[in-house]
């Protein structure tokens, strides 16, 4: 039996501290309909608390507040914005345990991983507090020598930020921090399944000195009805979305009407390629991280393990041994490394994908089934011998299922890795430096983990190619998603002198 590491009183304290209203113009209040959303603990199926369910009118009120606050926020000094973000970082670090527990309760991931997300998510606050004061332009003479060009950057304006449930804190900070650093105001629409972390974070931002109206949060069960009028409103200047590719595609269609600037962090189908010369210890370690972090519910989760035929048996045997040692349970329990999936649909999907692969000849090495009892758990699973045409190769699994197929030579490995509409991240394990460089140039991906199983880092440009999205978050690039570039031409100041 695993030992609960948090008491019922601690859970209550953390949940009861979250403001449950809409956060608009610096005030908390109910939705205009009075309706609410039940937030459920996926480990138990119990309702944690109810939060406001915004109407379209509430969404427009939030945009009004963001628009009203825009000019004053843009006029603050970069140093001021930097220090507000830095205070937010410090407050978050002081409250890391509470934020981690809140995330585990509403989303399910093990507490250690939630603590890791607080560190990762917090880094966006620190990184963009540092970037806020480093936005520069350029000045130069035009080639003809007849004028001077000045290039400057200014905030895009009010933004709508839509986030998913799988990383409730980090997906919010990855957008809010660069937007605020650049001088933009925002309306945030978190996922209906995990609104609590964003609401608690909005309260923290206010405490850190973010003025009224600069950050507004609307929680709703009617995402389309609330967001579409904002996207079609000419006062909105930017949409940043993280979520599935089909929803991203719908939002792009809506955004096309007013040629709205967009950033799209969409779905993935990451290949994890193990070459015959790989350090297998490192490859197995990387596989465990790339597959089982967040119970496989990550856009960066390795989806297709493509292993050289000469090392496939050994790799499979080693991962199976490790996977059998994973402990499944509530994320708040001691020693648990695999928490619940987010809901029943996620469990059914994992099960369906395993059955489809087995129907086409794959072998279940371990796991393969939903776990009985309360909560939405699926056994950590390894399937080998996955055949071409299996649905698991083309669909984001979003669950703890490690699917292995084999390849014969580098060309085939690259071809299989690229055989997807997605291109967010790829992982490759090889000791051959030149091969690593060839992969960096030939894999159709926005990010490559070369001999590592985790690539996410606030200092790096995160994002994908193909159907995985548009734009980059984090790194030096991240703040430019929220800045316009303006070019000014002036005459040659020496003309006639």
Active site residues: 265, 299
Please state whether beta strands 36-40 and 401-407 pair in parallel, antiparallel, or not at all (unpaired).
Answer: unpaired
Closest contact distance (angstroms) between CB of 446 and ligand NAP is 9
Q: Tokens standing for 388?
A: 């071409």
What the block records as the tokens of 191 is 């996922």
Q: Which two tokens stand for residue 475?
A: 């790194």
Q: How far is the CB of 180 from ligand NAP (least distance, A)?
A: 19
Task: Name every residue whose Cβ is closer than 8 Å to that of residue 317 and which is 6 or more positions away in sequence.
Answer: none
- Which residue, 282 or 465, is less far from ligand NAP as judged by CB? 465
Least distance between ligand NAP and beta carbon 130 (Å): 22
441's CB contacts (< 8 A; 6+ apart) are none
Nearer residue to ligand NAP within complex by CB, 82 or 198: 198
Q: What is the DSSP string of 238-253?
A: EEEEES-HHHHHHHHH
Return residues touching ligand NAP (CB under 6 A).
Answer: 162-167, 171, 189, 191-193, 223-224, 227, 242-244, 247, 250-251, 265-268, 299, 396, 424, 464, 469
Strand order in the sheet with 447-450: 363-366, 381-384, 401-407, 302-308, 270-274, 425-429, 447-450
Report how far residue 209's alpha carbon sits from residue 206's, in angstroms, rounded to the nearest whole number: 5
- Retrieve residue 249's tokens: 């595609």
Rounded to a whole number of angstroms, the minimum distance from the CB of residue 241 to ligand NAP is 7
**DSSP of 415-463, one letter per residue?**
HHHH-SSEESEEEEE-S-HHHHHHHHHHS--SEEEES-S----TTS-B-
Is 99 or 167 the residue whose CB approaches ligand NAP more closely?
Answer: 167
96-107 and 111-131 helices, crossing angle to 10°: 120
Taking the C-alpha atoms of residue 291 and residue 405, their distance in angstroms, rounded to an integer, is 15
Nearer to ligand NAP by Cβ, of 227 and 383: the residue is 227
Nearest to 410 by CA among 439, 389, 441: 439
CB 297 to ligand NAP: min, Å: 7
Task: Answer whether 414's CB lies under 8 Å from 443's CB.
Answer: yes
Residue 107 or 483 with smaller CB distance to ligand NAP: 107
Minimum CB distance to ligand NAP smaller for 252 or for 326: 252
Burial of residue 347 (number of CB atoms within 10 Å: 0-12, 13-18, 19+): buried
Give the shortest CB-243-to-ligand NAP separation in angstroms: 3
């Amino acid at each position: 039996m695993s030992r609960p590491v948090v008491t019922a009183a601690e859970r209550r304290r953390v949940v009861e501290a979250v403001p449950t209203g809409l956060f608009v113009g610096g005030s908390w209040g109910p939705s205009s309909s009075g309706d609410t959303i039940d937030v459920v603990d996926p480990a138990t199926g119990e309702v944690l608390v109810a939060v406001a369910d915004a109407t379209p009118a509430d969404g427009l009120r939030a945009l009004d507040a963001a628009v009203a606050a825009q000019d004053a926020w843009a006029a603050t000094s970069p140093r001021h914005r930097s220090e507000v973000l830095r205070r937010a970082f410090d407050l978050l670090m002081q409250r890391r345990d509470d934020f981690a527990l809140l995330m585990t309760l509403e989303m399910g991931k093990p507490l250690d991983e939630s603590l890791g997300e607080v560190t990762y998510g917090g880094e966006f606050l620190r990184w963009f507090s540092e970037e806020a004061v480093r936005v520069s332009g350029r000045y130069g003479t035009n080639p003809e020598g007849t004028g001077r060009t000045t290039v400057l950057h200014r905030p895009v304006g009010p933004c709508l930020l839509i986030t998913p449930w799988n990383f409730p804190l980090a997906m919010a900070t990855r957008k809010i921090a660069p937007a605020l650093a650049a001088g933009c105001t925002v309306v945030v629409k978190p996922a209906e399944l995990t609104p609590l972390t964003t609401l608690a974070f909005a309260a923290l931002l206010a405490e850190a000195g973010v003025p009224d109206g600069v950050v507004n949060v609307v929680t709703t069960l009617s995402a389309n009805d609330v967001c579409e009028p904002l996207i079609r409103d000419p006062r909105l200047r930017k949409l940043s979305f993280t979520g599935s590719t089909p929803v991203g595609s719908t939002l792009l269609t809506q955004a096309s009407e007013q040629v709205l600037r967009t950033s799209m962090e969409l779905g993935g189908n990451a290949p994890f390629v193990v070459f015959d010369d790989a350090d297998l210890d490192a490859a197995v370690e990387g596989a465990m991280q790339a597959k089982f972090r967040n119970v496989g519910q990550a856009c960066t989760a390795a989806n297709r393990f493509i292993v050289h035929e000469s090392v496939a048996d050994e790799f499979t045997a080693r991962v199976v041994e490790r996977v059998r040692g994973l402990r499944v349970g509530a994320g708040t329990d001691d020693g648990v490394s695999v928490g619940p999936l987010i809901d029943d649909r996620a469990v059914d999907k994992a099960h369906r994908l395993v059955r489809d692969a087995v129907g086409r000849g794959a072998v279940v090495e371990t796991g393969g089934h939903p776990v009985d009892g309360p909560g939405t758990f699926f056994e950590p699973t390894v399937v080998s011998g996955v055949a071409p045409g299996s649905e698991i190769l083309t669909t984001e699994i979003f669950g703890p299922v490690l699917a292995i197929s084999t390849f014969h030579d580098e060309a085939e490995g690259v071809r299989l890795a690229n055989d997807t509409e997605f291109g967010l991240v790829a992982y490759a394990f090889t000791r051959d430096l030149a091969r690593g460089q060839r992969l960096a140039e030939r894999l159709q991906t926005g990010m490559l983990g070369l001999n590592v199983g985790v690539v996410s880092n606030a200092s790096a440009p995160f994002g994908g190619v193909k159907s995985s999205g548009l734009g980059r978050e984090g790194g030096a690039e991240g703040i430019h998603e929220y800045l316009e570039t303006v070019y000014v031409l002036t005459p040659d100041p020496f003309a006639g002198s």
